Chains A and B, each alone.
Chain A
Amino acid sequence: MRILNLILAEASLILAINVAEKSPLAIFIPTKLLYLLLILPVAFMLLRRNPFDIPILILALSLVTVKLLTNSEAFYSLLDALYYLGYTGISEYLNSVFSAYKGSCLVQLTGIVVMFTIAQISWRMEEKLKELGIDMKYPLVVLGAVGVVVFLFFPILAEFRFKELPLIFLGLLGLCLTLLAIYVLAT
């Protein structure tokens, strides 16, 4: 399971570095150096820790965040604040840099989170299933299948334009989801 998690962690970091290479970060630091981060999961494994633990996820998310900032309203409002406070030069420079890299990275982000989830579940399952005397093969296949389904369909679902739907339909959908949540919590 260590090897599987190591592979997943390395794949996630490569995805995150690829996103970082196509983000404003590439202007400020040489992105080739980021590949040194791939040593971290190996180090985790040598320390007998889960190679794809929360710190690796935080690292991957940090790399992707620079790209996410290009679409962030909060970031642009911060630039506006800098402009208002008199730092017009830096504000205009950052605005021009980040605006040039605008774009979505939902697929890569979905891939990273799905791999993290699979790694976490498989890591916790291994010991428990061994204790119960259950073969890991079938649960892993099911886990992988669920992961593939989520990876394939989640971006489609997330990019669905809810804004274009009629308001009455959205209201009914919200009501149904509330009732479903009450039912789930009650049972």
Chain B
Amino acid sequence: MKVRAVTRSLVCASLLMLTWGILITSYELVAVSFIPLLFLAVPYRVSCSVVEAKISGDCYVGEEFRVDIRLRALGFGILKAMHELPEHFEVVEGQNAVARFVLGGEDVRISYVARPMRRGKYDLSRIVLEMEHPFLAWKTLEELRANLEIEVRQRLRRITRIDTVRGVARSPIPDVDLSKIGVPGTDFREIRDYVPGDPMRFVNWKATARRGKLMVNQYEVEGKKAVWIFLDANDYMTYGKSVRNYLECGIEITNALAYHFISRGHKVGLTIVGNGVVLYPDVGKRQFKRIGEELMRVEAGKEDLKRAFENCKKMISIYKPLLIIITRPEYSNPMDVVSEGMRARIPVQIIALKGKVEGDDFAVRLFELLRRSAIGRLRRVNVIEWDVEKPVRRLIARVVG
């Protein structure tokens, strides 16, 4: 236990007088040696309760929100109250800790503006109370709970305008590309052999009579092509600052892409490599909400990209989606996945994240060479290299443009 300076000096003085008094057998000196201890023994007690606690403002990464907490303190002593914030939050204005000398009743207000630097669901209910002796001799710790929770999301990078320029498409997913599976529409596509399960109303009787076997009409299905995003969340993605690293950038990109494609009627699926999370392609706001919730929970893990692809292979072969892989190719080596995708005639797009590498010149150059070589091996597919420090908005325009 750490003894306070004031306690130490008073106890020392008390012991000095006591020893002195015993040596000269002085009753008076022995008696007064207890006086400093009487000051230390002054009782103190502060009881605290939460009157009001609220958070105002939108909770997005990098954006400010305000916290107001009102406490009622009763008793005698010095009260220090601190609203505990997770490590990824920074206080921008005001203070999340206050101190008051309480004598009787006192209203204590904690009011500050903070900024979350990382997405997630945070419990902000903990208020740490430190009750100090009025003469700072001792202290006791207590905890209060306020009903405060916050869900910090990535702000969606909406694309305000995309120029339509004629030329070779950079993206393997034109906006008009149609889905492989779904509810059949009215647009005729082809006549094909009957397979068990085909509705009888699609049987083309004329063609059946001509060919001598059952033939059915195939119609274009409704809905647009599916998009399946593979977000790499392996350990190597967390390199960099805790608030801005490859993984955080990847999450931001995934969120923005999911919003873009879902709002345009595409089915969007998600695989988080490293967490074993798979969301099969679906449309609508509920799917976007599901994706958002999964992205909030992402933590770095360990999983092979190829294995994650194998787990979803069956569904990928059904949907034939555009695969978007967000990764660091120098570590994840997505060549096997790309080859399998190309064999199955599935368009693949890789977003290769890059960032500033710290170290001596030689090591940095060597690393850059290895990275270039890994990207060079992927020349058969569409690779977009992206610096994690750059704003994601521009990347989205490149992916979908």
Contact = CB atoms under 8 A, between A and B. Distances in A.
A61 B17 contact: yes
Of the four ranges (under 10, 10 to 19, 20 to 34, 35 or more), the interface on chain A belongs to 35 or more
Contacts of B5: 124
Given A113-B36, A158-B28, A139 B17 contact: no
B35 interface: yes
Interface stretch (A34-42, A70-78, A82-90): A70-78
Interface of B is mostly: helix
Given A106-B31, A114-B35, A128-B136, A120 B20 contact: no
A134 B100 contact: yes
Contacts of B135: 121, 125, 139, 143
A104 B99 CA distance: 45
Interface in A5-62: 54, 57-58, 61
Nearest to B80: A132
Interface residues of B, number: 34
Given A106-B32, A124-B136, A150-B39, A142 B25 contact: no
Interface of A is mostly: helix
A120 B26 CA distance: 24
A113 B136 contact: no
B38 A150 contact: yes
Interface string B31-55: 1110110110010000000000000
A135 interface: yes
A129 B28 CA distance: 34
A58 B39 CA distance: 20
A142 B28 contact: no
Contacts of B147: none
Contact of A109 (B23, B25, B28): B28
A133 B99 contact: yes
B78 A132 contact: yes
Interface string B70-88: 0000000010100000000
A63 to B, nearest CB: 13
Q: Closest 7 interchain pairs by CB?
A: A132-B99, A124-B6, A74-B25, A158-B31, A68-B26, A113-B35, A73-B25
